[in-house]
Amino acid sequence: MSDARFRRIDEWRWEIPPSGGMRVPGLLYTSEKLLKGMGADEGPKQVANVAHLPGIVKASLAMPDMHWGYGFPIGGVAAFDLDEGVVSPGGVGYDINCGCRLMTTRLQLEDIRDRLGDLVTTLFQHIPSGVGSRGNLKLSAKEEKQVLGEGSAWAVRHGYGTQADLETTEDRGVMAGADPDKVSDRALERGRDQLGTLGSGNHFLEIEVVSEIYDGTAAEAFGLEAGQICVLIHSGSRGLGYQVCDDYLAQMVKHVHEIRIPLPDRQLACARLTSDRGRDYLTAMACAANYAWANRQLLMHLTRETFEKTLGMNPRDLGMRLLYDVCHNIAKIETLPLTGKNVRLCVHRKGATRAFPPGHPALPAAYRKAGQPVLIPGDMGTGSYILAGTERAYTETFGSTCHGAGRVMSRTRATKASRGRSIPREMAARGVIVMASGRRTLQEEIPEAYKDLDDVVEVVHRAGLSTKVARLRALGCIKG
């Protein structure tokens, strides 16, 4: 790559040297192939823009699935000093705590091969999906506030899961410091009837089979074996989270002069971490994060019920266990190594996943030797990867890695490219049963609209940010 903006550091890293108002360099984890594919994408410019923000430490990072977002790039990681730094709602994204959870079962592919069509159909019937989908729960104002404070534990307390599910959820499915009084009436209104809904767009639920094991020891620790049936859920905080982001972003745009720095893009609006506005956002964001965890917990419960009913199995024989739940749109205060010392930082991961190393106290005991499970969903019908967090990610990228395949084609281009084609039929030819609420969603989400998942994962694996444990192949998928 001869682009003057970049300086190649090694096989997997490119630097954007500081220029203009950049306080730190930009650092891209990518490959020659992926960098070429970026072409006209403005992602690298956005990586440089983020480097302008006050209190940013070390570098504005981009993962190999990085693509052009609004304000921050998607696939971006940025950490800020707690005294000098800022928090930016645009650095988290509208879908606060959008994330993935992966469940394993005791089933093998041959157990369900003939029932796959029934399973996909009944999941599609039982799990509310699509634009503005409403759930079967209508929360009272009081109950909703409990959800915002408790996260996954609220769902478990009401019978939608088990204590064991909490053990294997990032942060046990609850972010501390959530105060529902910092969430607007509008956001609360939007959240009241959407708990337990998948949503639309790139959100999905997929039945998958473990097709390859790369690291036998880690796979065993994670409870994975070849041929095993798993379910992956990708969803977030629904309308409540979008509204929280929208509310605080508008406030910060209005008061951005208070931080006394010119921003290259209004969407980067932010507030000092020491300010009331910054603290209030983090408090409201924690509420939305907790809503998302409760949402995925409920979606998992609906999945368990559907599998049990459709296959006529009891919970013990089905053995649907939560392997792990990770968020990939979040800002968190974490203790991380920086120039040889452990410091507390505010880490923004927008389209990036936490990847803590073996031995980290945040990991459940069963995974402490293997490292944190990292779930990387692919595009529709591609399946996914399970990786493990590493020491290298911990010291180099604020304990972060990629989050998925990353778009290369805009939605309009994807819709045009799929005109006249039957996407469900194409997917069926690849051995994947797909059901969706909207035809348009399928058109926008065609596989060629995304970067090659294998290329993205190869970069984080080879760069040492997380290592391959297993590959899963898609069998059936429901989309909003």
Of 232 and 414, which has the nearer Cβ to another protein?
Answer: 414
Note whether 253 binds another protein by CB under 8 A.
Answer: yes
Minimum CB distance to another protein smaller for 69 or for 399:
69
Q: How many other C-beta atoms lie within 10 A of the C-beta of residue 431?
A: 12
Q: Does 250 bind another protein (CB under 8 A)?
A: yes
Instruction: Please give the residues from 95 up to 124 whose contact with another protein meets the rule CB under 8 A.
Output: 95
Cβ neighbours around 224 below 10 Å, total? 22
Whole-Å CA distances, 118 to 7, 78, 113, 114, 257: 53, 44, 10, 9, 57
Q: Does 254 bind another protein (CB under 8 A)?
A: yes
Q: Which of 31, 104, 200, 228 binds another protein (CB under 8 A)?
A: 200
Asked whether position 266 contacts another protein by CB under 8 A, the answer is yes
Determine the Cα–Cα distance for residues 479 and 68; give it in Å rounded to an integer. Answer: 23
403 in active site: yes
Least gap, CB of 68 to another protein (angstroms): 4
Stretch near another protein under the rule CB under 8 A, chosen from 66-74, 223-231, 283-291, 389-397 = 66-74
Task: Name residue 187's amino acid.
Answer: A
Q: Does residue 68 touch another protein according to CB under 8 A? A: yes
403 binds another protein (CB under 8 A): no
Q: Which is nearer to another protein, 93 or 476 (CB)?
A: 93
User: Residue 243, interface with another protein (CB under 8 A)?
Assistant: yes
Minimum CB–partner distance for residue 218 and another protein (Å): 32
Partnered with residue 307 across adjacent β-strands are none
- 295 neighbors 134 (Cβ within 8 angstroms): no
Residue 355 CB, nearest approach to another protein (Å): 22
Q: CA–CA distance from 441 to each of 64, 98, 133, 418, 471 (Å)? A: 25, 18, 14, 11, 25
Contact assessment for residue 97 and residue 236, using Cβ atoms and an 8 Å cutoff: yes
Query: Which window, 327-335, 361-369, 420-428, 433-441, contacts another protein (CB under 8 A)?
Result: 433-441
Closest CA to 380 of 155, 169, 201: 201
Q: Does residue 421 bind another protein (CB under 8 A)?
A: no
Residue 246 touching another protein (CB under 8 A): yes
Outline where 319-474 has alpha helix (H).
391-396, 411-417, 423-429, 439-444, 453-462
Encode burial over 400-415: b for 16+ CB neighbours within 10 A, e otherwise: bbbbbbbbbbebeebb
Distance (Å, whole) CA 268 – CA 270: 6
**Segment interacting with another protein (CB under 8 A) among 26-34, 111-119, 249-257, 467-475:** 249-257
Q: Length of the chain, please?
A: 480
Nearest distance, CB of residue 55 and another protein, angstroms = 21
CB of 250 to another protein, least distance (A): 7
Our finding on whether 67 is near another protein (CB under 8 A) is yes
Minimal distance, residue 411 CB to another protein, in Å: 6
Cβ-Cβ contacts under 8 Å for 110 (sequence gap 6 or more): 227
Q: Quick check: 455 binds another protein (CB under 8 A)?
A: no
Looking at 203, 301, 348, 403, which residue is catalytic? 403
- CB-based contact 325:172 (threshold 8 Å): no
Q: According to the binding rule CB under 8 A, does residue 408 interact with another protein?
A: yes
Q: What element of type H or E holds 193?
A: none
Stretch near another protein under the rule CB under 8 A, chosen from 118-126, 195-203, 282-290, 452-460: 195-203
Strands 60-70 and 26-29: parallel
Give Cα separations from 229 to 225, 266, 367, 450, 457 (angstroms). 9, 45, 20, 25, 22
Binding residue count for another protein, defined by CB under 8 A: 45
Stretch that binds another protein, among 15-23, 57-65, 235-243, 397-405 (CB under 8 A): 235-243
Residues near another protein (CB under 8 A) are 41, 43, 67-71, 74, 90, 93-95, 130-132, 186, 189-190, 199-201, 239, 242-243, 245-246, 249-250, 253-254, 265-267, 269, 407-413, 438, 440-441, 480
Q: Which residues are catalytic?
A: 403
